[in-house]
Structure formats: structure tokens, C-alpha cells
Structure 1
């Protein structure tokens, strides 16, 4: 498995991973081992980031498109995400409301 694919499946930002991870393809067994017994660098990335766009969008409760429209189309750390949630700008409130309404309609 290519490093880019593994990073996507693990929900981590590839550029923030160790160089060895970025340069080496993984076997299925190695990938499963990372999932079941994550090394400290992986646990740290999942805890503090930087997080890739899909994870940022999920943590903020909005779509990736909303991130792009509002110039947040970049990796964010957990601290940056928490700060945005604590003091929500108008665009974030509107995007969260739109996402919640979309979910309610599907139910």
C-alpha cells in the first residue's frame, strides 16, 4: 500500500508523518499493525494533528466544501480546531447549521 493511501485510511496528514513512513510502502499486515498497535508518532498525530481536510471537516461538523469556501483548505491542529469551535466565526456557525439541517432531512 502506498504511503499516501495508508495515511488517508489512517486519517492522518502524510506530510506530518516520519520520513520513513512517507518513503516506504506498507504490506497489509504492517497496516493492520499500525491500526491495532499505533506507534507514539501515530497516536500523537491523531491526538494533536495537524489533521487532513476530511478530519478537520468532521471535527468541525461541516463539509470539506465549506472549508474551501472559507479559506480553511489546509491542515489544522487540534488546538486550532478547538479554538474555532470555542469562538465560532459566522461562516462556521452557518456551515454547521446547514450540515445539521441536511442530516435531519435525511433521517
Structure 2
């Protein structure tokens, strides 16, 4: 018989990633002990005040920050943006976007357009090769 899956634990870093929060901003007791699946589910369904505050005001991890700014994680790194930003800092970037942010957003739009073009072209190529051949 297999053990109860809820007894499995994960590192605090993994739990923070699953919750979409920045680990260094969490309380010490969260950072210092493993988190069970049951505890993680409880945090998701009934978040304590500290988790609600982190989700509302941050600081947010790099991937969440990148998403909120509409750029990639690499764009943040290229432009020297710290690993975590608060809602206030993100709002300031959005209210008055610096030149690098405008360029990175435009670049991301172009990259996505190109990826879609390549995907469509590849689908068309596959469809053409899968057509039955006519025998004359």
C-alpha cells in the first residue's frame, strides 16, 4: 500500500514557487521548515494574513514581476532589475516606462509573432506532407 501523498514534504523554496511568492519575504517559520502537501493546500485555500499581504503588495519573485511588466525574466536580468519588486515599484515602471521596458515589450511582441508564424508554417508543412498522393 502506498503512503498518504499528503505526508510528502517539499522545501520551502518549492512551496513558495508553487504559491507564486518571494521566499525571502516570507515569515521565518515558513522558510525554516519543510511544507507538506496538506499544508500547501491549506495555504492555498485559507491563506494567512502574511500570504494575502505578499500576494497583494509583494515583493514578487522574478517570474511574477516579469509577467506583471509584460517582459521576460531575461529582460529583467539584462536591464539590472532586482530579483523582486513590490507592487509600488511595478506600478511606477508601468506609469512611466523607461526606454528599456518599452523596447523589451516590443521585442517580446515580435518574438511571439515570429514564433506563431513559424508554428503556422510548420503545421502547413506537416499537413502538406500528410496529404494522400494521387496515382496517375
TM range (shorter): over 0.9
Give per-residue Cα distances to partners, 1:48-68, cap 9 Å, x unaligned. 011111111010010111101
**Unpaired segments ≥5 residues, structure 1:** none
**Length-normalised TM-score, structure 1:** 0.94
**Unpaired segments ≥5 residues, structure 2:** 1-9, 117-136
Greater length-normalized contact order (CA 8 Å, ≥ 6 residues apart): 1
Give per-residue Cα distances to partners, 1:7-61, cap 9 Å, x unaligned. 1111111110001100111111110111111111001001101111111101001
Aligned to 1:104: 113
**Partner SS state of residue 38, structure 1:** coil
Once residues 83 and 12 of structure 2 are traced to their aligned partners in structure 1, the CA distance between those partners, rounded to angstroms, is 19
Q: Does 1:58 align with 2:67?
A: yes
1:100 is displaced (CA, Å) by 1.8
Root-mean-square deviation over aligned CA pairs: 1.0
1:17 to 26, 40, 56: 26
Once residues 77 and 36 of structure 1 are traced to their aligned partners in structure 2, the CA distance between those partners, rounded to angstroms, is 23
Aligned to 1:69: 78
**Partner SS state of residue 85, structure 2:** coil
Aligned length: 107
**Partner SS state of residue 59, structure 2:** coil
1:2 to 1, 11, 34: 11
Whichever of the two has the greater Rg, that structure is: 2
**Length-normalised TM-score, structure 2:** 0.75
